[in-house]
Amino acid sequence: MPMHDVYLIDSRVHRSRIRIPIIHPISEKGTCVLYGMQSALRFDDNPAYFRAREWARARNLPLVVAAFGDTGWKHATEREWGFIIQSWKDLYERAAHEEISFFAYAGLTKDLWVHAIRKFSPAVIIADEGYASWSRNWREYAAQISHIHFEIIDCNLVVPVLHASPKREWAAYTFRPKVSAQINDFMKEEYTTHSVIFPKVKNILYDPLAVDLTLPLHSIIAQIKPSSRARLVDEIKGGETSAKAQLQKFLQHGKGYALQRNQPGIEALSGMSPYLHHGCISPRTVLKEAKKSLPTEDFNALQEEMVVRRELAHNFVHYETHFRSLKGCDMWARETLAKHKKDKRPYLYTLEQLENALTHDASWNAAQNQMRITGKMHGYMRMYWAKKILEWTPYPEIALSYTIQLNDIYELDGGDPNGWVGALWAIGGLHDRAWPERPIFGKIRYMNEAGLIRKIKTLPIYIHQYTVQSIDKLK
Ligand SMILES: Cc1cc2nc3c(=O)[nH]c(=O)nc-3n(C[C@H](O)[C@H](O)[C@H](O)COP(=O)(O)OP(=O)(O)OC[C@H]3O[C@@H](n4cnc5c(N)ncnc54)[C@H](O)[C@@H]3O)c2cc1C
């Protein structure tokens, strides 16, 4: 039996969630089990945390959780850092109750891994999985340099990405049957932790390089000095506790989700995306709770978005190298966009005009304001918003770059496979089919304001909300 299989024999973590990128032995001199936390900022229903606890119990070692925030991510602003720090503070309080050592670090991920491995000299290392190539590379780099048994655990998908499909899927219709056949199996997993007293960490109760989470949020942000292009938002707070509160809020108004989720003037959406993006809650927890509370048609609609669409986006980012470029789109889409590249645009806006919601279109401006001010644009408006950027900028490549940039900077769920795939769907026809040909868009699906007004009865409410309110707030 290969050495890593021996290690996995007694684990209750589903085998297909665990990836061991390189075979290294357990360090017999190691003084703790280290969980390097980055993509799953939670303790509950977290298979990586659960696995780290299994190891700590098995070896009778202290458990250290080191959370890493990457200062190298160019789109991270005060807004995103605020959310991350709030999430860390939440974990820090909980860790104190559970007598687990919790440290949080802001820096370049690679450097943070090196520091944590040196500082804590672990016997075993656990990391939560990343889906973009750079996040996978950091983890694999850490595994390589550690020379210690290193496991990477897929925590944030219902069906682990490698298990759902061995290849890039064409569209929801090819992915849906594969993933649907496996959902029930993966919903049965149980990662509830029970209180266990782990041995205490000796001599490392303080690390001057760690973020002091007892300081107020603003002081920590001032130390990290992120860009202030997107300001902190009051409406959405980071953390596992806030994620659970948002879920409860959704369950109270979620009846009607199937029918009303395309109406931006009504509070019908779950609001879970910032929490899913930062791993403050597991999609399995959301689904389990939703199943108990929501009518079947609403639950099914939620499962379609949260498992089929969300995990299809992760499938694309995992298997496609060009996951933020039109090169990742199908040939028909690239050809049609190339054919219409020189078509005359009815309006041309600069990035600055778009960013400041200075277009002629009140619906578009409202959507941009909603994102800029609250950190979350309504899902239906995101489609319209991105398609208009294609129509109002000189080339599809520029449109994609502006869309991803604005999305990643201002959305609290930005910098996520869903966002990159959403932008490629809107501009590059990804996971979609060809539509009747027309100027600028070619065969890419088109949306216009008249259609929006016809379909969305609540549009005037929405426009009012994010015009008047935004002007007041921006003063
Ligand atoms: C141009 C564009 C940009 C987008 N940017 C992002 C982004 O940065 N981050 C992000 O998480 N989603 C993004 N989406 C997808 C979707 O709009 C959001 O997930 C959704 O609006 C989030 O709000 P919610 O959690 O209240 O949604 P709900 O409708 O309540 O959905 C529940 C969950 O299902 C998933 N989901 C819903 N719709 C989609 C979808 N179309 N594709 C994939 N997963 C989905 C999300 O995880 C969401 O949290 C984008 C879509 C487009 C067209």
Q: What is the pLDDT of residues 110-132, one digit of tens each?
A: 999 999 999 999 999 999 999 99
Three-state DSSP at 197 gives coil
Residue nearest to atom 24 of ligand 1 (CA): 271
Residue 306 CA, closest ligand 1 atom number: 34
pLDDT band at 163 (very low <50, low <70, confident <90, very high): very high
Residue 205 has pLDDT above 80, yes or no: no
Exposure letters 13-52 (e unless 16+ CB within 10 A, then b) = bbebbbbbbeebebbeebbbbbbbbbbbbbbbbbbbbbbb
* Domain ranges in the chain with CATH number 3.40.50.620: 3-155
Distance from residue 264's CA to the centre of ligand 1 (Å): 13
| Tokens found for residue 99 | 């007598």
Q: Distance between CA atoms of 414 and 217, rounded to whole angstroms?
A: 21
- The SS3 call for residue 61 is coil
310 lines ligand 1 (CB under 6 A): yes
Q: pLDDT category, 206, cuts 50, 70, 90?
A: confident
Output the residue whose Cα is nearest ligand 1's atom 12. 418
Task: Flag whether pLDDT at 341 surpasses 60.
Answer: yes
Percentage of residues of the chain with pLDDT beyond 70: 96
- Residue 468 is predicted with a pLDDT of 65
CB contact at 8 A, 73 and 277: no
Q: Is 75 in the pocket of ligand 1 (CB under 6 A)?
A: no
The atom of ligand 1 lying closest to the CA of 272 is 25
- The pLDDT tens digits of the residues spanning 27-82 come to 999 999 999 999 999 999 999 999 999 999 999 999 999 999 999 988 889 999 99
- Give distance in angstroms: CA of 272 to centre of ligand 1: 9
The whole-number pLDDT of residue 296 equals: 97
Ligand 1 and 422: CB distance under 6 A = yes
Read off φ and ψ for residue 462, nearest 5 degrees.
Answer: -60, -45
Look at residue 9 in the predicted model and tell me its pLDDT: 67
With 60 as the cut, is the pLDDT of residue 475 above it? no
Given the CA of residue 312, which atom of ligand 1 is nearest to it? 43
Give pLDDT, residue 1: 52
Question: Where is 181: in which H helix or E strand?
Answer: helix 172-187
Centre of ligand 1 from the C-alpha of residue 247, in Å: 15
Question: For residue 50, how far is its CA from the centre of ligand 1 (angstroms)?
Answer: 28
Q: In 124-171, which residue ranges form alpha helices assigned H by DSSP? A: 133-146, 161-164
**Could you tell me whether strands 149-153 and 18-19 are parallel, antiparallel, or unpaired per DSSP bridges?**
antiparallel
CA 408 to each of CA 57, 67, 81, 313, 419: distance values in angstroms, whole numbers, following the listed order: 40, 21, 13, 16, 8
Q: How far is CA 435 from CA 59, 257, 328, 430, 455, in A?
A: 59, 28, 19, 13, 19
Instruction: Show the tokens assigned to 233.
Output: 């938002």
List every span in the chain annotated with CATH 1.25.40.80: 157-188+240-319
Q: Six-digit token pair at 51?
A: 């696995």
* Residue with token string 């149980």: 190
381 CA to centre of ligand 1 in angstroms: 11
Whole-number Å distance between alpha carbons of 171 and 338 = 22
CA of 403 to the centre of ligand 1 (A): 15
CB of 399 shorter than 6 A to ligand 1: no
User: What is the rounded CA–CA span in Å between residue 197 and residue 324?
Assistant: 45
Which pairs with CB-CB distance under 8 Å and at least 24 residues apart come from 92-97?
92/213, 94/43, 94/240, 95/43, 95/65
Distance between CA atoms of residues 264 and 310, nearest Å: 20
223 Cβ contact list (under 8 Å, min separation 6): 106, 211
CATH class of segment(s) 3-155:
alpha beta
Mean per-residue pLDDT, 144-163 = 97
b vs e for 370-400, b when ≥16 Cβ sit within 10 Å of the residue's Cβ? bbbbbbbbbbbbbbbbbbbbbbbbeebbebb
Name the burial class of residue 472, with classes exposed (0-12), middle (13-18) and buried (19+) by CB atoms within 10 angstroms of its CB.
exposed
Task: Give, as one character, the DSSP assignment of residue 306.
Answer: I
Sheet strands (E) in 71-211: 101-107, 122-128, 149-153
Ligand 1 pocket mutation, candidates 323, 418, 420, criterion most atoms within 8 A of CB:
418
Which residues belong to CATH 1.10.579.10 in the chain? Answer: 326-474
Q: How confident is the model at residue 266 (pLDDT cuts 50, 70, 90)?
A: confident
Cβ of 154 closer than 6 Å to ligand 1, yes or no, is no
- The one-character DSSP state at 442 is B
For 394, what's the count of Cα atoms within 13 Å in the CB-facing half-sphere? 3
Q: What is the tens place of the pLDDT at every residue in 356-405?
A: 999 999 999 999 999 999 999 999 999 999 999 999 999 999 999 999 99
338 vs 76: which has the higher pLDDT: 338
Indicate the CATH number for domain 157-188+240-319. Answer: 1.25.40.80
Tell me the pTM: 0.97
The CATH number of the domain covering residues in 326-474 = 1.10.579.10
**C-alpha angle 390-391-395 in degrees, rounded to nearest 5:** 55
